[in-house]
Amino acid sequence: MKRLVYLIFPLALVSCEKEIPLNAEVTDPKLVLNCGFEEGEPWEVHVSQSLSVIDNGNLSGVDGATVNILDNNGTLLETLNDDGNGYYSSTSLVGASGTGYKLTVSKSGFTSIESSDIVPSIPVINYKDTVSGTYLGEDVFEITFDINDPAGSNDHYLIQAIGYEDDGFGNTNEYQLWFNVNAPEFENTSPEEYNQIAFLKDGQFNGSNYEITIRADGWVAESNLDSISVYVSSCTEAAYNYAWSYDRYQSTSGDPFSQPVQVYSNVTNGFGIFAGYSTRSFAVEF
């Protein structure tokens, strides 16, 4: 922003900079919950605390909290183990598709927080084809597949693609690929914009088979990649809102020409995200 001012108005060179008091109520640190849970997987939760934006302290995990998983009726399912550094995990409990969960976190000195969400249904995807070609004058590598969307529910999807390469020394390198999807059903659709995550809602194809073509840069076909895996996650609205707003938040951070982004949170009395998702993938071998 400061550079922008210098660019647009030379008089700003004599402008004044001064520290002013933050005229806001000094808020106590709040508990922060980060938890993404999925079908068939044990629970892993991270608890930390927020700081004032002018506090120099490091953001760190909160240990010694009581983290409970409850079902929709309020019945305690499990109290998670404290693994240290703010991490808590279940010993036996795993997420079940279509089931709702509530999580509560309490710790002395903090206001307790809670949140609820469900594990969404598992996405049904079918790989169809790959083609090397051109799109808008650029070499592209296209991967086509379809999603069999369940009827009667508002479903949300996140799509990612990861390339794998054996480095010849027994290690596998992973590359998260940038790709383009040009279809109006996508939140971040555009002929020119390449993203690492595509955001998709089923509003236009609810209950039907929806064919998707993602286009990675043409170098993919000529690279040393051994395979590409496409991951499709069905997620709850909360997970989708968090992922979408956080993606915008990161991509526009520091840009004075952009509107500020509010990152979504579904945690009562605190910050963070508690959201369910289910992921399936397919691999394209080279």
Partner 1 sequence: MKNLLPALFLLLSISATSQKETATISGYIQDASTGEKLIGAGVYDVKSEQGARTNVYGFFSLTLPKDSVQLRIMYVGYETIEMRLKLEEDQTINVEIKSSEELKSVVIKGKESIQDETQMSSMNLSMAKVKALPVFMGEVDIMKTIQLLPGIQSGSEGASGIYVRGGGPDQNLVLLDGVPVYNASHLFGFFSVFNADAINNVQLIKGGFPARYGGRLSSVIDIRMKEGNMKEFHGEGSVGLISSKLTLEGPIKKDKTSFLISARRTYIDLLARPIIKAAGDGNVGGYYFYDLNGKINHKFNDKSRLYFSVYNGKDRAYLKYDESSLENGIRETETFDQSLQWGNFISALRWNYIINPKLFMNVTGTYSRYKFNVGFNYENSEVGAGVNNQESYQFDYLSGINDWSGKVDFDYVPNANHSVKFGTGYIYHTFTPGVNEVSLSSDGSTNDTTYGSTNQYGNEFYGYIEDDFKIGNRLKANLGVHASGFLVGNKTYYSIQPRVALRYKLNELSSIKASYSRMTQFLHLLTNQSIGLPTDLWVPVTDTIPPQQSDQFAIGYARTIKKDYELSVEAYYKTMENVIEYKDGASFLGNDKDWQSKVEIGRGWSYGGEILFEKKVGKTTGWIGYTLSWTERQFDGLNFGEKFPYRYDRRHDIGIAITHKFNDRVDVGVVWVYGTGNAVTLGLERYLSFDNVFGSGYGEIEHIESRNNYRMPAYHRLDLGVNLHKKKKWGEQTWSFGVYNAYSRQNPFFLEFGYNDNNQRALKQYSLFPIIPSFNYSFKF
- Alpha-carbon distance 112 to 61, whole Å? 15
Map residues 87-106 to x or -, x wherever contact with partner 1 holds by CB under 8 A. Answer: x-------------------
- Residue 128 CB, shortest distance to partner 1, in Å, is 27
Query: Footprint of partner 1 on residues 167-226 (CB under 8 A)?
Result: 190-193
- Residue 113 CB, shortest distance to partner 1, in Å, is 12
Regarding 162 and contact with partner 1 (CB under 8 A), the answer is no
Query: Footprint of partner 1 on residues 42-61 (CB under 8 A)?
Result: 44, 46, 48-56, 59, 61
- Alpha-carbon distance 132 to 33, whole Å? 43
Q: Which of 213, 234, 241, 242 is nearest to 155 (CA)?
A: 234
Task: Report how many residues bind partner 1 under the rule CB under 8 A.
Answer: 67
Regarding 156 and contact with partner 1 (CB under 8 A), the answer is no
- Residue 270 CB, shortest distance to partner 1, in Å, is 9
Regarding 251 and contact with partner 1 (CB under 8 A), the answer is yes
**Helix H or strand E encompassing 2:** helix 2-8
Reported residue count of the chain is 286
Does residue 116 come out as left (phi exceeding 0), alpha (psi in the -120 to 50 range) or beta? beta
Part of the chain binding partner 1 (CB under 8 A), chosen from 41-49, 122-130, 155-163, 222-230: 41-49
Nearer to partner 1, 240 or 242 (CB): 242
Nearer to partner 1, 249 or 286 (CB): 249
Scored b (16 or more CB within 10 A) or e, 251-276 reads: eeeeeeeeeebebbbbbeebbbbbbb
Regarding 30 and contact with partner 1 (CB under 8 A), the answer is yes
- Residue 282 CB, shortest distance to partner 1, in Å, is 22
Q: Which of 58, 51, 57, 61 is nearest to 29 (CA)?
A: 51
- Alpha-carbon distance 128 to 265, whole Å? 36
- Alpha-carbon distance 160 to 181, whole Å? 11
Map residues 114-153 to x or -, x wherever contact with partner 1 holds by CB under 8 A. Answer: -----------------------x----------------
Residue pair 174/162 in contact by the 8 Å Cβ criterion: yes
Extract the runs of DSSP E, i.e. beta strands, from 149-247.
Answer: 156-166, 172-176, 179-180, 198-201, 209-217, 227-235
Q: Among 248, 276, 277, 284, indicate the residue that binds partner 1 (CB under 8 A).
A: 248
Q: Among 86, 95, 120, 123, indicate the residue that binds partner 1 (CB under 8 A).
A: 86
Regarding 257 and contact with partner 1 (CB under 8 A), the answer is yes
Coil, helix or strand at residue 185:
coil
Regarding 231 and contact with partner 1 (CB under 8 A), the answer is no
Question: What tokens appear for 215 in the block?
Answer: 């286009």
8-state DSSP, 108? T
Q: Enumerate binding residues for partner 1 (CB under 8 A).
A: 1-2, 4-5, 8-12, 14-24, 27, 30, 32, 34, 36, 44, 46, 48-56, 59, 61, 86-87, 137, 190-193, 242, 245-246, 248-252, 255-265, 271-273
